[in-house]
Structure formats: C-alpha cells, structure tokens
Amino acid sequence: MFAVAALLLGLLGSVHCIGMCGPIALAIPLQRDRTKSLLAGISIYNFGRALTYAVLGALSGLAGSAVQWATGQQTLSIAAGTLILLTLFTGALGKKMKITSPFPKLFSKIRNALGKLFKRHRPDALLLIGMLNGLLPCGLVYAALAGAGATGNFWSGALFMFVFGMGTVPVLFSLSFAGSRISFSMREKMRKAVPVFVGAMALLLVLRGLGLGIPYVSPSYSNGKIMCSHCQRK
C-alpha cells in the first residue's frame, strides 16, 4: 500500500514540481543539441533528487519507528495522516503549495552551491544539482516525508521516498526535455489538483490506522500489528 501511495503522490502531485523545481530543471547544464547526452543528463539529475529523498525518507522512517515503539503503529499512521490534513486546511499546502524554509541560512547556502554547479557541464555536477534540489523546501515533499514516517521503518521510509521521487520524474523529465513549451494554463489546471491527491493520501493513512478490516486499505490489527486476511482465517 505504501509504495503505491508514494508512487501516486509523486506522479499525480508532480505538477507542483513545475512551479517549485521547474526553474532548476530548465536551468541545469544540458547538451540540448545531442539527444543521448540530454537524456543521460536529465536521468542523472533526477536520480540525484530521488537519492536525497531516499535518505530523508530513511531518517523519517527511523523517527517513525521510535514513535511507533512508544505509541503503536495505528497511532503513528493516524497521526501522520492527521498532520497532513491539518497542513492542508491551514494553508501550508494550499492554493500555491508554498512553504517557508525553516532554515533560511542553510537553504541560502544550498542555492549558492546550485548557482556554482550550473556553470559545470559534467555528470557529477548534474548529480549534485539533483541531490541539492532534493533538500530545498517543498510542501509536497514534507507531506511525503510524513507518509515515510508512517511506515515506522528505516528501509521502508527510504523506499517510500525513493518511489515518490521516481513518481515525480515523468513530469520533470518532460519539462527538462521539452523546455518551457508546457503552457501556463495547463500547469495551473494541474496544480490545483495537487492538494486533492495529498489529502487522499492523508485519508488513506488515517483509514489504515483505524483498522476497519478493509483489505489493503484499512487492515485489522492485533496487539498493534497488522493482521492479514490469511492470518485471520487461521
């Protein structure tokens, strides 16, 4: 369930990335006159983003495991879903999905580093640009990290965020390849749908924690552990 939720969140919510990461995707130093080099460069950049997301997801999953140990898996899932919903309703992931950086000096240094890397036309620079891009403040990423934390596991959190990152690739890949030819009106229409998908993931997390006995969506729990239908028949 978590992997599917991560993929859908990344895929359907990635239109938001056009506004946030789009300028970077358009500015990365690519050899646009050579198709193979262009495709390789875009792939390296996006892999760097997904790699950073995986590291952040692992840390989030590790933090979630501590919370799960103290409160239980159900409470963790409900808390993560509720947090995302509250964020939506309070406007942090609202109309324009803008969010203020909690560490302005750190992110200022990251942006300065990105500026220097844009001048280098090498694969390692593209990888670093992608990795640093993954550290920039983004409401959609923060929502995904809440989902990664709800996995309550180091490796599951890493996988959740890596899959999320892969889900954002098609839109950003197309943007980097097509340049700025994606119309503004299309971006706006798709952007407005992003909070809906984020809210849907939050509701799934809450349902999962409630343990209503719905296969895959809200499985039953026994002593804080998920019980599969096969186990319940036994």
Q: Which two three-digit tokens encode residue 129?
A: 């640009």
pLDDT at 210: 79
Residue bearing tokens 């501590």: 66
The torsion of the CA quartet 128, 129, 130, 131, rounded to 10 degrees, works out to 50
- Cβ 60 vs Cβ 54: under 8 Å: no
- Which of left, alpha, beta for 211 (phi over 0: left; psi -120 to 50: alpha)? left
Which pLDDT score, from 0 to 100, does residue 225 have?
53
Residue 85, token pair as written in the block: 């919903």
Task: Residue 97: name the closest of 202, 24, 195 by CA.
Answer: 195
Cα(106)–Cα(112) distance, integer angstroms: 10
Q: Does residue 121 sit in helix, strand or coil?
A: coil
pLDDT of residue 124: 92
At what angle are helices 154-178 and 139-150 packed, to 10 degrees? Answer: 150
Amino acid at 5: A
**Residue 122 DSSP code:** S
Query: 198: closest CA among 153, 142, 135?
Result: 142
Residue found by looking up tokens 């599951």 in the block: 156
What CA–CA distance (Å, rounded) separates 76 from 2? 14
- Rounded Cα–Cα distance for residues 212 and 59 (Å): 29
Task: Identify the pLDDT of residue 94.
Answer: 44
Overall number of domains in the chain: 1
Closest CA to 78 of 209, 201, 232, 211: 209
pLDDT at 96: 47
Task: Say what the pLDDT of residue 20 is.
Answer: 64
Question: What is the reported pTM?
Answer: 0.75
Spans of the chain, pLDDT less than 70: 1-2, 14-22, 32-33, 70-71, 87-103, 177-194, 213, 215-234
Q: Name the residue range of residue 228's domain.
A: 2-233
* CA gap 158, 124 in Å, rounded: 22
